[in-house]
Each structure stands twice: as C-alpha cells, then as structure tokens.
Amino acid sequence: MKFNSHAAVLAAAAIFLVPPAMAPARAQTFSADQREEIGTIIKDYLLSHPEVMQDVMAEMEKRQQAAEAEKHRTAVAENKATLFSSPHQVVLGNPQGKQTMVEFFDYNCGFCKRALPDMLTLLKTNSNLKFVLKEFPVLGEGSVEAARVAVAARMQDSSGKKYLEFHQKLLGGRGPADKMRALAVAKEVGFDMTRIEKDMGSDEVKKTIDEDLKLADELGVNGTPSYVVGDEVVVGAVGLDALREKLSAEQK
C-alpha cells in the first residue's frame, strides 16, 4: 500500500480516523490488520514529512479565523443599534459621518495608550469619520473608577470636545489611572466637579458601563484595544495603516 502525495496521505488519514458508525454508506472499510498497516504508513510518512503537519495547522488556523469572523459578523448584526447608536456612548468626529469606527478601551491599557495617536490622526484627517468610544474597564478597580469619572464627564459635554481633551490627558498621561487621577484631569480640563462627583453615582454611569461590558461579551471582545469597523471586529493595537485599510474596505 503506497501513497504518492500529501493529499493522498491526508485523505487516507481522514478515512482511517472516521469511526465505523460514522462512515457513509458504501464507503470503503478496512480490516483490523489493514487499519494497523495504514496507521503505520501515515505515522512513518508524517515523521518523514513533518511539513505536512505545518500545512494541516495552517489550514486549521485559516478555518478557525473564518469561523471567528463569521461569529463576529453575526454578533455585530444582532447588536447593531447598541454598538453604533447607543444614547450612552461617546461620539467623536462627525456624528453624521458615513464611516464608523468603534473602539473598546481601558484607561490602564498600555496598548490603548499606544493606539491613541492613531485615533487622533484619523479624526484629524478623515472628516467623514464617526468615532465611537466604549468603556471596557477590565484591568482592575482603578480602571472601573476612571471609567465612572469619564462617563460622568461625558454627561456634561454633549459636543465631545472637552471630553476628548479629558480622554487624551487621562489615557495619554503617565502612571495608573484611578478615581483620584481621573478627577484631577477632569478638574484640569474645566468640568463642573460638583456635578462630576454627583453623576458618578448615577444610574446613567452604571447603565453605560454595564451596557459596554455586555456588548463586549456579545462580540467576543476579550482584550483592549478592540475595534469594530463595518461588520468586522479587529483586536489589538494594529496601527494607523491597518485601521485606514479597514475603513477603506468598509467604504467599498
């Protein structure tokens, strides 16, 4: 019994590995001796040609990525209103823009700090961009406290201009973000601090953070930063060029 190609070996392996009860009608069946012989041949072949396993792993990864992308597309479609048009979210750039990018972030995320200039450049160079920020405080209590201050700041700035200044200073600053530091930044930017303190305990703050955490869970987002462009979820600080490519692809 001989095999002359990778494909032949893999085909034989597929037949060999399928349990008899699952084999289709009229499919080839093997005796115990034949199955043992095939198993030995496959093992020897793979040991002599380990690159076959690389091909298999590459194909598995490709299929997993395709399945993950399909799951994301479905989740985005099912949560479209909350994702792109929630009354609790921060909208920067052009609220009526034809292109939309959503970012899930944490004020203590080093990669989010690194990605901040990408967002600022996109806002500066793309007048057709609606940029939505979603609080995703997953890096400890300090992150939750900072997010509560940020939502309270958003509540008294419908234009988003003062909020953006606050966001830049808090995310772009050194050291860990927590309640004390977030309040100090809010005061520096010029927010009404009495109102900030009051609003931090409001239902609106709780609803906003709860909604964002639930949305991230629905989308399968488990790291920061993560972006949504069109129906695609993009995980990680992928860089300005990659984000621009995603926006260009959405426009087509």
In this predicted model, what pLDDT tens digit does every residue of 51-91 receive, in sequence order? 767 776 766 666 666 666 667 688 889 999 999 999 999 99
* Summary mean pLDDT of the chain: 86
User: Which fold does the domain 80-251 belong to in CATH?
Assistant: Glutaredoxin (3.40.30)
Q: Which strand (E) or helix (H) includes residue 105?
A: strand 99-105
For range 198-224, the mean pLDDT: 95
Which pLDDT does position 64 carry in this prediction?
65
Q: Are 164 and 183 in contact (CB under 8 A)?
A: no
Q: Are 116 and 152 in contact (CB under 8 A)?
A: no
Of 9-13, 95-99, 234-238, which range is least confident? 9-13
Residue 244, C-beta contacts closer than 8 angstroms, at least 6 positions apart: 122
Q: Are 137 and 106 in contact (CB under 8 A)?
A: yes
Within 10 Å of residue 157's Cβ, how many Cβ atoms? 17
* pLDDT, tens digit (0-9, with 9 covering 90-100), for 97-156: 999 999 999 999 999 999 999 999 999 999 999 999 999 999 999 999 999 999 999 999
Which pLDDT does position 42 carry in this prediction?
79
- Cα 83 from Cα 97, distance rounded (Å): 15
| Per-residue pLDDT at 2 exceeds 70 | no
Q: Are 164 and 92 in contact (CB under 8 A)?
A: yes
Which pLDDT does position 26 carry in this prediction?
47
Within 10 Å of residue 182's Cβ, how many Cβ atoms? 25
Domain boundaries, the chain: 6-78, 80-251
Which pLDDT does position 44 carry in this prediction?
80
More confident: 44 or 152: 152
Q: Token pair of 103, please?
A: 């970012």
| Per-residue pLDDT at 186 exceeds 70 | yes
Distances (CA, A) of 210 to 149, 167, 217, 229: 15, 20, 11, 22
Which pLDDT does position 153 carry in this prediction?
97
Within 10 Å of residue 128's Cβ, how many Cβ atoms? 13
Which pLDDT does position 39 carry in this prediction?
80
Query: Residue 14 carries which DSSP code?
Result: H
Tell which phi-psi region holds residue 186, choosing left (phi > 0), alpha (psi between -120 and 50) or beta: alpha
Q: Token pair of 129, please?
A: 């961009």
State the pairing for strand pair 99-105/226-229: antiparallel
- pTM of the full predicted structure? 0.74
In the numeric block, the tokens 């990778």 are attached to: 6
Peptide bond into 225 cis (omega under 30): yes
Of 155-159, 162-166, 215-219, which range is least confident? 155-159
Which pLDDT does position 114 carry in this prediction?
96
Distances (CA, A) of 197 to 97, 184, 194, 236, 252: 33, 12, 5, 33, 45
